[in-house]
């Protein structure tokens, strides 16, 4: 159950902490005091959207913390499936709201909103002020029936969903295969062209990288050979203008005149050294050029192969493995088209088989729903009689959808007659808002016993009711409180009188700001709050006496229940 609520910096609430009790917890207060803010804070834990406007003016963040104690074994097992282990039997859910983001924690550990929502859904359930309107929608009516018979219906629904997925995939495969002969022939021809083009290339994984290396090396070799050739022409002795020839002639001329002038011997020696160096250079250059023998045919072959591979890359993939994978994919499609008739017959046979399985699954699901519909009808009627529908009839009408869905082929509609002699008609054609609210209360009470959700929160379930009906609703709420923790926001004194714990929500204005406070009421304060609900601001002795009598009668009713337990 919900033990503790802590709210900080949300709308009118600066900071509020409340210790809730087991049984029926009643929250009352003037209109606009902040009851909706309190409920909204709990809905944040259930994953509702966060608005910056929810944070109190000038506050850096808003915070909601809910502390639950968990004893129900089925809930503990479900929490364990979510990898949530209560600490000392307690689970703390918190959500901190800041500009553009929120921080969510379970037992102090960060978690996603979806995980918190799933965990919170196991611990408490909120029936909002206008939720009863959802009863008018057939989809919601079917959800309620499925929740009522959850233990048997849920496995059948899962089985139906799986069969429907397989059936839908089979139909999709058939649609993809559906084509006329001319279209199939065109696609076959195109596939064969692509596969043949890739096959003729005889690609080898990694050869494009090796060819690129060869191409770069050969391209560089060609440039080097051109440069060395020009250098050989400029320095070679075989050319009249070559440096070697010119230096050789210079050596001859200086050698001749050095015999005439001994001082020229050093010049002759220097030229002899230059001539020797040029001769050595020519030999090394010739050897280097011989080693870098450039094969034009090899260069052409490498270039052509690279062009072929690059062309295939532009069509079929960025790498050789991608091209080969594309070929395998197209080959698979070709094989499928070549065996089109066999494949078509196989898929049609598969579709018929799965359709039969789906139909059988839908029928089993429908039978279970009809079984639980009968039980739900009886219990809803009993619950509605407890809520002052004295001559009510309630039935669940079944019809079949035109096609299969993942939820089966059932359509249901809730029919009701609230007065003797009236025909059964859809809810929306007969009941008022107050009546619809009471029907939802009866259903919620039934579902709560089956879902093991210990904490139920009702927001102004008393909409549109008064008098004897209000008294019946109060008794129903108090009776639910004997088996669940109930938090109820109400304006009716009849319901408030049944409180096991009573809280007042008030609004105070001081120093230019407004704040909402939540105050637990003792017995006498609860009586005065009941008196306010009965008569407004004027609290006479007679009104207070009436309020005290309502509390006494409520206590007697609960004592009688305790004696019969």
**What are φ and ψ of residue 458, in 5° steps?**
-115, 125
For residue 181, what pLDDT is reported? 67
**CA–CA separation, 352 vs 170, rounded Å?**
10
For residue 33, what pLDDT is reported? 66
> How many C-beta atoms lie closer than 10 Å to residue 492's C-beta?
26
> How many C-beta atoms lie closer than 10 Å to residue 513's C-beta?
12
For residue 72, what pLDDT is reported? 87
**CA–CA separation, 396 vs 413, rounded Å?**
6
Low-confidence ranges of the chain (pLDDT < 50): none
Q: How many residues does the chain have?
A: 565
**CA–CA separation, 530 vs 521, rounded Å?**
11
Tell me if the pTM is above 0.75: no
| End-to-end Cα spacing for the chain | 22
Q: Which residues sit opposite 90 in a β-bridge?
A: 69, 87
Tokens 């019809």 belong to: 399
**CA–CA separation, 243 vs 274, rounded Å?**
10
Are 23 and 482 in contact by the 8 Å Cβ rule? The answer is yes
3-state secondary structure string across 494-521: HHHCCCCEEEEEEEEEECCEEEEEEEEE
Q: What is the dihedral of CA 490, 493, 494, 500, to 10 degrees?
A: 70
**CA–CA separation, 414 vs 398, rounded Å?**
9
User: Cβ neighbours of residue 384 under 8 Å, at least 6 residues apart?
Assistant: 392, 394, 438, 439, 442
Report which DSSP code applies to 131: G
Q: In whole angstroms, how far apart are CA 274 and each of 230, 251, 288? A: 20, 9, 21
**CA–CA separation, 421 vs 413, rounded Å?**
20
Q: Read out DSSP for 211-237? A: HHHHHHHHHHHHHHHHHHHHHHHHH-S
**CA–CA separation, 537 vs 543, rounded Å?**
11
Q: Which residues sit opposite 228 in a β-bridge?
A: none
For residue 437, what pLDDT is reported? 77
User: Cβ neighbours of residue 343 under 8 Å, at least 6 residues apart?
Assistant: 177, 336
User: Cβ neighbours of residue 310 under 8 Å, at least 6 residues apart?
Assistant: none
Tokens 């233990």 belong to: 151
- Long-range contacts (CB closer than 8 Å, 24 or more residues apart) made by 51-56: 52/99, 52/100, 54/10, 54/11, 54/97, 55/9, 55/10, 55/97, 55/98, 56/9, 56/10, 56/11, 56/12, 56/13, 56/14
**CA–CA separation, 272 vs 24, rounded Å?**
121
**CA–CA separation, 190 vs 196, rounded Å?**
10
For residue 129, what pLDDT is reported? 59
Are 368 and 148 in contact by the 8 Å Cβ rule? The answer is no
């Amino acid at each position: 159950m919900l033990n503790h609520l802590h709210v900080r910096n949300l709308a009118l609430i600066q900071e509020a902490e409340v210790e809730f009790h087991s049984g029926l917890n009643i929250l009352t207060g003037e209109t606009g005091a902040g009851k909706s803010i309190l409920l909204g804070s709990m809905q944040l834990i259930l994953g509702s959207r966060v608005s910056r406007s929810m944070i109190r003016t000038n506050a850096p963040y808003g915070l909601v913390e809910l502390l639950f104690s968990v004893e129900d074994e089925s809930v503990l097992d479900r929490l364990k499936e979510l990898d949530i282990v209560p600490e000392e039997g307690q689970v703390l859910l918190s959500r901190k709201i800041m500009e553009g983001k929120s921080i969510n924690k379970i037992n102090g550990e960060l978690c996603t909103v979806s995980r918190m929502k799933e965990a919170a859904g196991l611990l408490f359930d909120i029936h909002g002020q206008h939720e009863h309107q959802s009863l008018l929608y057939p989809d919601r009516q079917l959800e309620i029936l499925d929740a009522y018979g959850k233990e048997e219906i849920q496995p059948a629904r899962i089985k139906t969903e799986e069969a429907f997925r397989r059936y839908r995939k089979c139909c999709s495969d058939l649609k993809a295969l559906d084509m006329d002969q001319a279209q199939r022939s065109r696609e076959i021809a195109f596939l064969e062209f692509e596969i043949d083009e890739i096959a003729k290339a005889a690609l080898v994984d990694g050869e494009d990288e090796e060819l690129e290396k060869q191409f770069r090396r050969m391209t560089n070799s060609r440039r080097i050979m051109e440069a060395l050739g020009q250098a050989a022409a400029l320095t070679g002795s075989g050319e009249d203008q070559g440096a070697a020839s010119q230096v050789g002639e210079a050596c001859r001329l200086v050698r001749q005149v050095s015999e005439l002038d001994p001082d020229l011997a050093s010049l002759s020696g220097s030229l002899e050294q230059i001539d020797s160096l040029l001769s050595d250079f020519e030999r090394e250059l010739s050897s280097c050029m011989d080693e870098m023998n450039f094969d034009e045919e090899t260069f052409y072959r490498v270039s052509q192969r690279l062009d072929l591979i690059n062309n295939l890359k532009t069509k079929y993939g960025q790498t050789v493995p991608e091209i080969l994978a594309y070929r395998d994919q197209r080959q698979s499609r070709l094989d499928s088209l070549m065996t089109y008739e066999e494949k078509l017959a196989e898929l049609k046979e598969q579709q018929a088989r799965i359709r039969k399985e789906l139909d059988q699954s839908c029928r089993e699901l429908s039978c279970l729903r009809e079984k639980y519909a009968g039980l739900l009808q009886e219990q809803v009627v009993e619950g509605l009689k407890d809520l002052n529908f004295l001559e009510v009839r309630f039935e669940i009408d079944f019809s079949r959808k035109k096609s299969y869905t993942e939820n089966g082929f059932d359509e249901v509609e809730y029919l009701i007659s609230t007065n003797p002699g009236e025909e059964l008609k859809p809810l929306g054609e007969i009941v008022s808002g107050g009546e619809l609210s009471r029907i939802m209360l009866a259903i919620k009470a039934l579902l709560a016993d089956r879902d093991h959700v210990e904490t139920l929160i009702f927001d102004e379930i008393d909409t549109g009711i008064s008098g004897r009906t209000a008294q019946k609703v109060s008794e129903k709420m108090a009776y639910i409180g004997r088996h669940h923790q109930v938090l109820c926001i109400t304006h009716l004194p009849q319901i408030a009188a049944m409180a096991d714990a009573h809280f007042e929500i008030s609004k105070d204005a001081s120093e230019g700001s407004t704040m909402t406070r939540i105050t637990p009421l003792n017995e006498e304060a609860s009586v005065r709050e009941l008196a306010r609900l009965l008569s407004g601001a004027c609290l006479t002795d007679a009104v207070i006496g009436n309020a005290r009598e309502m509390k006494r009668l409520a206590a007697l009713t609960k004592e009688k229940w305790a004696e019969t337990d």
